């Protein structure tokens, strides 16, 4: 019987620790979301990896911009607000609010998305430098415009000029990563299809496509050229240079890095690993920050609500009704967590306190007797429990400190320990029932 009481008291106390840890983590989640801690830390990390101008280009890149969408505020448009927005000086002060907006501090950017966006920016810089050379190769956009400006009547009757440019751009994009002979054959078919009839223009297109193909195949040269002009920290430029040297060395060893796509994928893979290592460091920093916040939150919650471990342990040990109620609630809560039928978690600390702590009739909240014994204003009393004994400063400090430590350790640890003890309790009960049945 004594062993059962000890086990149930331990289960009840650990369950309270689990609830308190959940309260602390839930409060931190609310605060971190409100302050956009994770997103701001990500932006600081990107500033370390990239220059401020490059970071802005990355955040405005279509691949990343599409992941930054968030729900905006919707307000009723009145005639008064519409009138204000028509005034040039006031239009910028009263912008139109929409349902969707862009989050300036996204919590997460996928490594593949980041690497391709960064390489797009570097390659675009290299293209700009290359175009300044009188012998520069045409880009796909330039070739599409060259096609469209010399279209025959056949295609112009079907498409407007802008649609024709998009069509030719798409067709060239499907050819550009193939071998040179396939590209030239494809361009010849495209010339016939769109109806370019001037022989000189046809020769010019073939010449520029051949140059564009050669230029695009040397993607490493293009990245190297872009790095000479783009503003990036030295450690970032050194990383790209090492990455490109490694690929060239592998190619010299006759390893399979032959096509443009394979070279580009090798660079993308290296950038993803580099980005992941940086994000791992940011994750470590965020965990340390979260621990400091949770310590502060646990201290505030423990002191404000007087969640004293010593008082709770004494109540569980001496009051059988309270102990049985807490153990039963613990069993139910563990089953709910394991099943997770609704897929929802209690992350609101106020809700957790009201539903899981206040309803269990455990000694939580300051009483007038406790406040008076500590020489604190009795008007701060939260509980009318008259049976709770006086407390001492030593008991208050030790009991509250133990609660704070439990909150910092975290709910996952206490939940795992609680689950183990409940399984042990269930096994012990089943064994005792089997013994009774055998004796009878």
Residues 261-291 have pLDDT tens digits of: 677 788 888 899 999 999 999 999 999 999 9
Number of structural domains (the chain) is: 2
Q: Say whether both 178 and 306 belong to one domain.
A: no
What is the average pLDDT across 183-187?
74
Q: Which three-class secondary structure state does DSSP give residue 299?
A: helix
The strand ranges marked E within 13-119 are 69-71, 100-102
Domain boundary (229, 245, 278) is at 278
Q: Is the predicted pLDDT of residue 349 greater than 70, yes or no? A: no
Q: Say whether both 271 and 362 belong to one domain.
A: no
What is the average pLDDT across 232-252?
79
pLDDT of residue 357: 61
pTM for the whole thing? Answer: 0.65
String of b and e for 205-229 (b: at least 16 CB within 10 Å)? beebbeebbebbbebbebbbbbbee
Residue 403 lies in a domain: yes
Q: Say whether both 239 and 119 belong to one domain.
A: yes
Domain boundary (243, 278, 313) is at 278
Q: DSSP string covering 363-432, please?
A: S-S--HHHHHHTT--GGG-----SSSPP--HHHHHHHHHHHHHHHHH-HHHHHHHHHHHHHHHHHHHHHH
Q: Say whether both 179 and 269 belong to one domain.
A: yes
Residue 90 lies in a domain: no
pLDDT of residue 246: 79
Q: Say whether both 274 and 340 belong to one domain.
A: no
90 or 384, which is more confident? 384
69 or 10, which is more confident? 10
Q: Say whether both 224 and 298 belong to one domain.
A: no
Lowest mean pLDDT among 106-120, 165-179, 402-416: 165-179
The size of the chain, in residues, is 440
Domain of residue 200, residue span: 111-278
Torsion (CA) 402, 407, 409, 415 in degrees, nearest 10: 110
Q: Say whether both 164 and 219 belong to one domain.
A: yes
Q: Say whether both 271 and 301 belong to one domain.
A: no
Residue 61 lies in a domain: no
pLDDT of residue 257: 47
What percentage of the chain's residues is helix, strand, coil (to nearest 5)?
A: 75, 0, 25
Residue 211 lies in a domain: yes
pLDDT of residue 192: 78
Q: Say whether both 258 and 297 belong to one domain.
A: no
Rounded CA-CA distance 115/273 in Å is 9
The percentage of residues in the chain with a pLDDT greater than 90, rounded to a whole number, is: 12
Residue 337 lies in a domain: yes
Residues whose CB is less than 8 angstroms from the CB of residue 308 and which lie 6 or more positions away in sequence, other chains included: 302, 363, 391, 395, 396, 399, 400, 403
Q: Using 50, 70 and 90 to split pLDDT, how confident is the model at 295?
A: very high
Residue 357 lies in a domain: yes
Q: Using 50, 70 and 90 to split pLDDT, how confident is the model at 217?
A: very low
34-80 pLDDT tens trace: 888 988 899 989 888 888 888 888 888 888 887 776 655 544 455 66
Q: Is the predicted pLDDT of residue 199 greater than 60, yes or no? A: yes
φ, ψ (nearest 5 deg) of residue 427: -65, -40
Q: Using 50, 70 and 90 to split pLDDT, how confident is the model at 343?
A: very low
pLDDT of residue 296: 95
pLDDT of residue 201: 78
Rounded CA-CA distance 48/275 in Å is 11
| Residue bearing tokens 């008064």 | 80
Q: Is the predicted pLDDT of residue 412 greater than 70, yes or no? A: yes
CB of 102 closer than 8 Å to CB of 69: yes
CB of 306 closer than 8 Å to CB of 364: yes
Average confidence score pLDDT of the chain:
76
pLDDT of residue 341: 46
- Helical pair 52-59 and 37-49, crossing angle rounded to 10 deg: 120
- Helical pair 320-339 and 411-439, crossing angle rounded to 10 deg: 110
Q: Using 50, 70 and 90 to split pLDDT, how confident is the model at 406?
A: very high
Q: Is the predicted pLDDT of residue 138 greater than 60, yes or no? A: no
Q: Give the residue among 419, 440, 410, 415 at the shortest CA–CA distance from 21.
A: 410
Rounded CA-CA distance 154/157 in Å is 6
pLDDT of residue 260: 62
Q: Say whether both 273 and 326 belong to one domain.
A: no
Rounded CA-CA distance 336/73 in Å is 35
Q: Using 50, 70 and 90 to split pLDDT, how confident is the model at 83?
A: low
What is the average pLDDT across 326-334?
83
CB of 115 closer than 8 Å to CB of 275: yes
Q: Say whether both 130 and 227 belong to one domain.
A: yes
Q: How many CB atoms lie within 10 A of CB 136?
A: 15
Q: Where are the alpha helices (DSSP H) in 77-179?
A: 79-86, 88-91, 111-131, 140-148, 153-158, 161-175
Residue 229 lies in a domain: yes
φ, ψ (nearest 5 deg) of residue 102: -100, 130
Rounded CA-CA distance 354/303 in Å is 17
Q: Using 50, 70 and 90 to split pLDDT, how confident is the model at 414?
A: very high
Domain boundary (249, 278, 307) is at 278
Number of H helices, E strands in the chain: 21, 2
140-173 pLDDT tens trace: 666 666 676 666 555 555 555 566 666 666 666 6
CB of 346 closer than 8 Å to CB of 352: yes
Q: Is the predicted pLDDT of residue 355 greater than 60, yes or no? A: no
438 or 268, which is more confident? 268
User: CA end-to-end span of the chain, whole Å?
Assistant: 20
Residue 141 lies in a domain: yes
- Helical pair 393-409 and 260-304, crossing angle rounded to 10 deg: 160
Q: Say whether both 124 and 193 belong to one domain.
A: yes
Give me the sign of the Cα torsion angle 232, 235, 236, 239: positive
């Amino acid at each position: 019987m004594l062993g059962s009481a000890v086990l149930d008291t331990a289960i009840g106390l650990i369950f309270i620790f689990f609830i308190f840890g959940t309260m602390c983590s839930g409060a931190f989640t609310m605060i971190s979301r409100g302050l956009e801690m994770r997103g701001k830390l990500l932006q600081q990390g990107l500033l370390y990896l990239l220059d401020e101008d490059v970071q802005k280009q990355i955040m405005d890149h279509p691949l990343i911009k599409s992941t930054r969408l968030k729900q905006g505020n919707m307000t009723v448009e009145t005639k008064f607000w519409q009138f204000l927005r028509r005034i040039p000086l006031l239009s910028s002060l009263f912008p139109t609010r929409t349902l969707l907006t862009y989050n300036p501090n996204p919590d997460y950017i996928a490594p593949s998305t980041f690497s391709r966006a960064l390489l797009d920016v570097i390659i675009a810089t290299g293209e700009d430098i290359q175009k300044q050379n009188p012998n520069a190769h045409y880009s796909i956009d330039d070739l599409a415009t060259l096609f469209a400006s010399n279209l025959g009547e056949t295609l112009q009757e079907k498409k407007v000029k802008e649609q024709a440019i998009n069509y030719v751009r798409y067709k060239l994009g499907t050819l550009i990563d193939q071998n040179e002979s396939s590209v030239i054959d494809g361009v010849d078919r495209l010339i016939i299809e769109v109806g370019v009839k001037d022989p000189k223009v046809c020769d010019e297109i073939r010449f520029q496509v051949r140059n564009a193909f050669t230029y695009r195949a040397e993607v490493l040269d293009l990245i190297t050229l872009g790095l000479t002009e783009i503003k990036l920290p030295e450690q970032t430029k050194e990383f790209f240079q090492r990455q490109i040297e490694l690929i060239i060395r592998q190619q010299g060893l006759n390893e399979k890095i032959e096509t443009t796509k394979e070279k580009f994928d090798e660079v993308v893979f290296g950038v993803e690993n580099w980005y992941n290592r940086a994000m791992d460091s940011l994750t470590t920093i965020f965990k340390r920050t979260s621990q400091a916040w949770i310590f502060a939150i646990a201290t505030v919650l423990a002191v404000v609500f007087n969640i004293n471990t010593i008082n709770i342990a004494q109540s569980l040990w001496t009051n059988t009704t309270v102990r049985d109620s807490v153990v039963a609630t613990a069993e139910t809560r563990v089953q709910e967590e394991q099943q997770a039928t609704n897929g929802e978690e209690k992350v609101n600390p106020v809700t957790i306190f009201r539903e899981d702590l206040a309803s269990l009739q455990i000694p939580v909240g300051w009483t007038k007797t406790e406040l008076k014994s500590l020489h604190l204003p009795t008007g701060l009393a939260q509980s009318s429990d008259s049976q709770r004994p006086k407390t001492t400063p030593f008991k208050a400090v030790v009991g509250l400190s133990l609660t704070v430590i439990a909150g910092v350790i975290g709910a996952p640890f206490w939940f795992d320990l609680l689950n183990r003890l409940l399984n042990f309790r269930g096994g012990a009960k089943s064994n005792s029932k089997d013994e009774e049945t055998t004796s009878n």
